[in-house]
Amino acid sequence: MPKIVVDVMPKAELLDPQGKAVAGALARLGNDTFSGVRVGKRFELTVDGPVDEAVLASVREIADELLSNSVIEDVVGITVVDGNGAHSAAASGALA
């Protein structure tokens, strides 16, 4: 069954305490490859039946209203993944 993946990240201009904690842990472990870490959420919605424009529109609405808090978060990607794990249609990138 097709899945739609919605990616939500904290807004770039806001502090991200979870990300800071991971970055601090990496630094303590001696890893200095990464200059920053941010932690967001990934939602996988399993769709009954085919993914058409109506379903995508409904996902966009859900992503904006239910899955993300637009005051502090951005929806950064909505991607359709088929049952085999291959990415097909996509509305990825900064959507905000």
Instruction: List C-alpha distances in Å: 34 to 28, 29, 39, 44, 65.
Output: 13, 12, 14, 27, 32
Establish if 39 lies at the interface with its own copies (CB under 8 A).
Answer: yes
Which residue type, as a one-letter code, is found at position 21?
A
Residues 6+ apart with CB under 8 A from 11: 72, 73, 74
Which residues 9-38 are close enough to bind its own copies by CB under 8 A?
9, 19, 22, 25-26, 29, 31, 33-38
Establish if 92 lies at the interface with its own copies (CB under 8 A).
Answer: yes
Choose, by CB under 8 A, the member of 13, 53, 71, 85 that binds its own copies: 85
By the criterion CB under 8 A, which residues form the site for its own copies?
1, 7-9, 19, 22, 25-26, 29, 31, 33-48, 55, 58, 62, 66-67, 85, 87, 92-94
